Amino acid sequence: MLDIKLIRESRETVEAGLKTRRSEVKLDEVLALDERRRAIITEVDRLRARRNEVSREIGALKKAGEDTGAIQQETREIGERISALDAELREAGEAQRRLLLAIPNLPQEGVPEGADSTANVVVRSWGEPREFAFEPKDHVALGEALGLFDFERAARLAGSGFPLLTGAGARLERALIQFMLDLHTTQHGYVEVAPPHLVSSAAMTGTGQLPKLADDMYHLSTDDLWLIPTAEVPVTNIYREEIIRRPLPIRLVAHTPCFRREAGAAGKDTRGLIRVHQFNKVELVQFVEPEASRAAHEELTGHAEAVLQALGLPYRVLLLCSGDMSFAAAKCYDLELWAPGYGGWLEVSSCSNFEAFQARRANIRWKNREGRNEFVHTLNGSGVALPRLVVALLENGQQEDGSVILPEALRPYLGGLERLTPPA
């Protein structure tokens, strides 16, 4: 949510920023409501001041045993006018909040302008894509031969898009989760948390998934709860409606399943593990002082990169353009792994700085150095998402005989296993 004061005072700047987000700018309406609201507040405050004054007088008169009939009539009338104005005020406030909740965050300076992913900028690459002496297979062919997953039977359980990992495949995923959690907690200073996988609408609104993305998520109508599309939601909302009274930054890491309806999914990405309705992810979340958020964003991105480096997987870092960023982000880096069988880059992480956008929605504040309450800045990034990490791991590590060599860093988590081979 943007600060209404910013919209009021720097309308042109806000409009210019929103234009690059392909957002339908509705500032006229918001500002009209804001003006209306403030006018009512001024009037209501004036009436209340008068009523307080008269009420005090009534108290004094009654104590003196005098008649207060006429004067009581005045306050009764004031009370009625206050009730009427209060109703109007509430309506205007709700309407304004609805509009504000639908306005995306402003891009940070330095974010390239652009309408879609073609305007994203590659800021760096790491690792060399491997040269193959044979035609590399894709992860589905490799994994099925190795008995790592079973898509056909999986479809019996919940339809397509809900993967069933089997044997070494299931264990590989568990090993990766453990490896990543250990890396972030021991090397990067994160505290591990295990949050709920279902959250309320209030939590979804706090991080910005609602109202806009309702159709992309699974909703349990009986209990009015949502399955989380990312651990960002429960973890960021841990401090909702709170003034944080411990030193910042707070760094949290969580492993959770993620559920996404991905209504528009189509094409080759529906094959295998590339795009699924349920997947596991390790997520990094930070609450930081406003002045520290830019540095923290670079650092957090580095924490996600460290996973890929430790596994020896070639990747590139994209700076997303204004039109390709998610609703709540002010700046975002995507990490993409090279997948030789797939023949393209796979997004395994989005590292975003939300500045005060989520904090303002969720009312997450801290006491700054002047002792004043101030919204924190929130950040998060995948560290990293699993299915595509598995895809890249298999496709990059594959040998001509169909076996897969495992990165050394992972072997301790697999009982020393060096290579995946077909089950006996």
Query: Per residue, what are the HEC states of 40-71?
Result: HHHHHHHHHHHHHHHHHHHHHHHHCCCCCHHH
- When the beta carbons of 199 and 296 are compared against RNA, the nearer one is 199
| Distances in whole angstroms, Cα of residue 286 to Cα of each of 180, 182, 254, 326 | 17, 17, 12, 18
Active site residue 260: yes
- When the beta carbons of 156 and 372 are compared against RNA, the nearer one is 372
The span from the CA of 340 to the CA of 134, in Å, is 11
Beta-strand ranges (E) seen in 271-356 are 278-288, 315-319, 331-339, 344-355
- When the beta carbons of 44 and 351 are compared against RNA, the nearer one is 44
- When the beta carbons of 25 and 58 are compared against RNA, the nearer one is 58
CB of 87 to RNA, least distance (A): 8
CB of 33 to RNA, least distance (A): 12
Q: What is the dihedral of CA 39, 42, 47, 52, to 10 degrees?
A: 160
Beta-strand ranges (E) seen in 28-144 are 121-126
Alpha helices in 147-167 (DSSP H): 151-158
Specify the amino acid at residue 106. L
- When the beta carbons of 43 and 269 are compared against RNA, the nearer one is 43
CB of 186 to RNA, least distance (A): 29
CB of 301 to RNA, least distance (A): 31
| Cβ neighbour number for residue 337 with a 10 Å cutoff | 26
Buried b (16+ CB within 10 A) or exposed e, 45-83: eebeeebeebeeeeeeeeeeeeebeeeeeebeebeeebe
- Which residues, including other chains, have CB under 8 Å from residue 52's CB and lie 6 or more apart? none
Catalytic hit among 51, 240, 275, 365: 275
The span from the CA of 15 to the CA of 17, in Å, is 5
Chain Cα centroid distance, residue 220: 20
CB of 344 to RNA, least distance (A): 42
Catalytic hit among 347, 374, 403, 411: 347
Catalytic hit among 37, 260, 360, 361: 260
Query: Which element (helix H / strand E) includes 96?
Result: helix 69-101
Kindly tell me the number of DSSP H helices and DSSP E strands found in the chain.
Answer: 12, 16
- When the beta carbons of 44 and 362 are compared against RNA, the nearer one is 44
Specify the amino acid at residue 416. G
- When the beta carbons of 7 and 339 are compared against RNA, the nearer one is 7
| Cβ neighbour number for residue 195 with a 10 Å cutoff | 21
CB of 203 to RNA, least distance (A): 12
Catalytic hit among 23, 293, 349, 350: 350
Active site residue 350: yes
- When the beta carbons of 187 and 373 are compared against RNA, the nearer one is 373
Per CB under 7 A, residues contacting RNA are: 38, 41-42, 44-46, 48-49, 51-56, 58-59, 62, 72, 75-76, 79, 83, 86, 90, 243, 245, 365, 371-373
- Which residues, including other chains, have CB under 8 Å from residue 400's CB and lie 6 or more apart? 133, 134
Active site residue 360: no
If we measure between CA atoms, which residue out of 29, 32, 5, 27 comes closest to residue 16? 27
Q: Which residues pair with 5 in a beta bridge?
A: none
CB of 74 to RNA, least distance (A): 8
CB of 227 to RNA, least distance (A): 17
Hey, which residues are catalytic here?
260, 275, 347, 350, 388
